[in-house]
Structure 1
Amino acid sequence: MTSLGHPQLSGLARNQAAPEDVLVRLAAHPAGRHGLAMRRGQLADAVVEALLTHGGGDAATMLRRDRISSGMRRRIAEHPDPAIRDAHADSVRHSVDREVEVGIADLEEVYGRPRTALAGARDPKLRAAIAQAWRDRPMSVQAVLLADPDPRVRAAATVRPQPGVPPVWTDRCLADPAVRANVAFYVPLTVDQFAELMRTEDEEIREAVAGNPHLSADMVAQLVDMDDPNVRVAVAQSRHVDAETRDRLYALVEAECEAGSTGARVALNWTFIEPSWLREEPLDERMTYLDCRQPVFRRVLACCRDLPEEAWRRLDDDPDIKVRRTAARRPDTPPEVLERLVRAHGDEFHIRPPLVEHPNFPRHALRTFVTERDPHVRYIALQDPELPVTALHQLAAAPESFLRRGVARHPQATDALLSQLLADPVPDVADDAAANSVLRPGRMYRILSEADV
């Protein structure tokens, strides 16, 4: 993250081209230490020593095993200051106590025991941490966690569908208030188990059951008339619901949403449930969903890779942008489809890889995006690593700070551009300019001198 008070220092600490002595000097300043905490890769021993000298235990907390040499790990383990020596272990123990998820390797290192032994530790919070972190645990360990006397451990052991619940444990888990909602979401249910869950009249339980992919047609039929919007959307996505019923359920939730219902808006726009079963249906059956009124079905269809050309043409022109973007991720998307989509709507860089990195994207067209009206589309031009300096100057003058940040990170940024962006009033822009590896060492030392570092 950027240091709001000294963004040039925090950015410089992230600069992969910064000399070692620059990083050592930055370790003496809080903003520099802030940036060093975000820096990629292993830190030199001299930098680690400077961090420990100036940052003490706070700095030691951020020194993960993969960031320091084995020699420095031994140095910290034998450090005379307990605040430094115990910083990492204290941080892990504090996370366990606060029930914040911790990596399994950190748990084994700090508690000095293998995960198999930690699963039976005396502290229930530690056992719960193991249940959270050890995701590929064998079923023998899972059975021990399911039988744990502490409800927090049992809940942690069942929050994910894997490694799952053995059939012989299903009744016991469904009767356990600590795990019932977790388990009802993914285990196959018998008729009696379904009926018992419905008798609880618990909203969370009903919503979990409605999202269960193993429900029979009879079970789904019993959920159709419930007025909970989350249940309605989940039921509407069931394989056992016909198109008329599905449209009716969605229409009810959409009407509630238009009337101002927050629950309905969440059910429509923020649920992670999707009709994933559609991927496994025969091609002829899947093709019938090309005309489905609900975009989520067309998005799932667009995830398939065996559709005929006519289906791809339809999906590439779908009225829903998410459907079009999903379809565009197939391996053989035509270049003109990719360019048209990105030129019209920009890209989603939080989803990797973005469409501009698709092998078929016409990279030669990137610089033509500079003149587009939408600033989010103009940003696409910055994906050209050889974008002309004139274009960079044009984008650096934009009122949108995210465009100026893109220029600040660009490998073709000139000294003049970086000087301009280092003085930008938006801290994130100055931070990114200082982090650009094309920044000259002389400018780096000047930043230090100006900050009296």
Structure 2
Amino acid sequence: MVAFHASALDGVARNPALPTPLLLRLLACEGGGDGPPRPAFRRARLPEAAVAVILAHPNPGARIEFAISARAEPSQRARLVDDPSPKVRAALAYGPEWHDPRTTVAPLPDDVCARLLDDSVPSVRAALLDSPHLGPSFVASLATHRDPAARRKAARGWEKLPTGERSALLADPDPEVRQAAALGECRRDARVTAELLRDPKSAAEALRHGILHRADAERCLAGRTHLAALAENPSLPHDLVERLAVDPDEDVRLAVSLRPELDEKRRMSIHFTVDALTRGDVQWVRDGLADPGVLRRAATSAHPLLRRTAAQSPHLPPDLLDLLARTEDQVVDNLLGVYHPDTPQEVLMRVYARLGGTFSAWMAETHPRFPREGLAARYADHPDGNYRRLAVRDPAATPQLIERLSHDLEVWTRQAAAEDPRLPLRRLREALHVPELASSAGANPALPEDKMTAVLERAGVPA
């Protein structure tokens, strides 16, 4: 018989029914090239025996995969803090590079972060300070750290720092720390803003957020310096806002149109254009994604960027969710499909139909509202293979239909059928030898244990 295709091993590594003894055997394998299959180290709820094998694995690449797993418990990943490889410690320090946007990554314990920040290797310390997964208590503790880079990181969380730490950072001996602190303080002190405007490196951000003296604002207007940033400034006098609202620069007018104090009539009277695919990340709306008042203002606005930013909130009440679902805006549809757990099925299907590919497959597999019932009857014979793939999701799909779809002309449809536990065992065994189906067949939870064992043996995974 022809040997199993090599990708079958990757499938077995992510098979949810993989018995613990086979998992331990797979994890212990040193493998070739980059080591054992990556999915094995990113599984959820790994047993303690498996974690112990990973921590002692001789291949640093294997330990790195565990260090960046979004599914592993922080307390488990934290045990790599003393790993002999700086690359592993740096991977641990930064954490997962991608995770489901509907979830958050729990931070490492503060004491582990503190040890990583004191690591002897600069790349480990830098990875920690670049991490988006640090807890707020640890970030606040950085204000008194001996490393200036750590104090700069603390200054970026200015609003959460106690008064004493703020004062110390404003008088810090390191000029970059002082500048980072000043960029936080300028939001409440026009004198600090004026000082920052003298430095080209900090001028744009100071203009965007700082309290402004009118003379400084007029000077920027006269010199046409960073006008788009100036147009966002919350302290800008009303008459200067009105001047910028008719500025010849389109980016400046767009920035004015997004100001939070404008009423809807004035906002939409400004001449601006928005690209059809611009996501929309309006800061005052992003800051209020859990605020009912902010969400209502943004979701009911005619301004597409306000609506698109509101669509990123999982907290939209039913009436606003329904309103945004009817806006006929493709970007709004996409964002609702990613972020809101109650997105209407018709929106999810619109996104699926329009985008196809990996994103639609991910959404269909993970969104709690994506339809399932009736898909076989509707789509099993659809001319588009992207839709025939949906028939596999139907709980009423028969084994005969699943087998038929495993021979479909569209490879994604064949792969979806090969991973379905209703696939007849004869066809499932056959799929292990088909290059484009082997990984899906290996991940099929109906795959018998003896076949999983055979895949490991054919791949040279030692007992």
Aligned to 1:440: 448
Q: CA deviation at 1:400?
A: 4.1
Q: CA deviation at 1:232?
A: 3.4
Aligned to 1:206: 227
2:188 and 2:211 in contact (8 A); partners too: no
Q: CA deviation at 1:52?
A: 2.9
Aligned to 2:218: 195
Describe the SS at the equivalent of 2:13: helix
Q: CA deviation at 1:218?
A: 2.3
Describe the SS at the equivalent of 1:54: coil
Of 389-398 and 111-120, more deviation after overlay is shown by: 111-120
Q: 1:69 to 1:201 in 2, by over 3 A?
A: closer
TM-score of the pair, normalised by structure 2: 0.64
| Deviation per residue, 1:384-422 (Å, 9 max, x gap) | 455433443344334444434433444544434544554
- Matched residue pairs, number? 406
Q: 1:285 to 1:408 in 2, by over 3 A?
A: closer
2:182 and 2:196 in contact (8 A); partners too: no
Q: CA deviation at 1:446?
A: 1.1
Aligned to 1:35: 39
Q: 1:51 to 1:70 in 2, by over 3 A?
A: closer
User: Aligned ranges for residues 171-250 of structure 1 at < 5 Å?
Assistant: 171-187=194-210, 189=212, 191-198=214-221, 201-202=224-225, 205-212=226-233, 215-238=236-259, 239=262, 242=266, 245-246=269-270, 248-250=271-273
**Structure 2 gap ranges (5+):** 96-106, 120-137
Amino acid aligned to 1:45: A
Describe the SS at the equivalent of 2:374: helix
1:226 and 1:232 in contact (8 A); partners too: yes
Q: Are 1:121 and 2:131 an aligned pair? A: no
2:375 to 366, 369, 379: 366
CA–CA distance in structure 1, aligned partners of residues 298 and 54 of structure 2: 64
Q: CA deviation at 1:68?
A: 8.1
**Structure 1 gap ranges (5+):** 96-101, 254-264
Higher share in helix: 1
Q: Are 1:48 and 2:69 an aligned pair? A: no
1:385 and 1:410 in contact (8 A); partners too: no
Q: 1:223 to 1:126 in 2, by over 3 A?
A: same
CA–CA distance in structure 2, aligned partners of residues 94 and 341 of structure 1: 36
CA–CA distance in structure 1, aligned partners of residues 178 and 46 of structure 2: 38
Q: 1:115 to 1:194 in 2, by over 3 A?
A: same
Q: CA deviation at 1:230?
A: 3.0
CA–CA distance in structure 2, aligned partners of residues 399 and 281 of structure 1: 48
1:357 to 346, 368, 374: 368
Q: CA deviation at 1:443?
A: 1.5
Amino acid aligned to 2:11: G
Q: Are 1:107 and 2:113 an aligned pair? A: yes
Q: 1:286 to 1:73 in 2, by over 3 A?
A: closer
Q: CA deviation at 1:445?
A: 1.0
| Deviation per residue, 1:181-218 (Å, 9 max, x gap) | 3344345545344335446644xx33333344665542
Q: 1:31 to 1:186 in 2, by over 3 A?
A: same
TM-score of the pair, normalised by structure 1: 0.65
CA–CA distance in structure 1, aligned partners of residues 56 and 64 of structure 2: 10
CA–CA distance in structure 1, aligned partners of residues 155 and 430 of structure 2: 51
1:338 and 1:355 in contact (8 A); partners too: no
